[in-house]
Amino acid sequence: GNSVTQMEGPVTLSEEAFLTINCTYTATGYPSLFWYVQYPGEGLQLLLKATKADDKGSNKGFEATYRKETTSFHLEKGSVQVSDSAVYFCALITGAGSYQLTFGKGTKLSVIP
């Protein structure tokens, strides 16, 4: 079956620090990969996605590259802000036209001024 493993949190960083959240996956077939973010008291928002190997998804300064050889999709940001404090979820979908997301456990990020 499908599974996603993310680094355990919480992660606490100072403003302007570099962020990396590791994500690796196991999938049957060729997955599409996603990062979602959840702010306190809200639902999930799609942050970025990649659908094939070596694709780089990017949004709001966040980036992640689909690495098929290492089955990874690590999230990075060069300079975090207090407003980036949230829970980040790595997720995948397999199967054309499927909408069944498999999520990692989530990583809570806190950015302090």
Q: Based on CB atoms, which residue is closest to other proteins, 97 or 113?
A: 97
Contact 57, 40 (CB under 8 A): no
d(CA 48, CA 33): 9
Contact between 53 and other proteins per CB under 8 A: no
* Residues 71-110 within binding reach of other proteins (CB under 8 A): 89, 91, 93, 96-106
Instruction: Give the strand pairing for 75-77 and 56-59.
Output: unpaired
Q: In the complex, which residues of this chain contact other proteins (CB under 8 A)?
A: 32, 36, 41-46, 49, 51, 89, 91, 93, 96-106
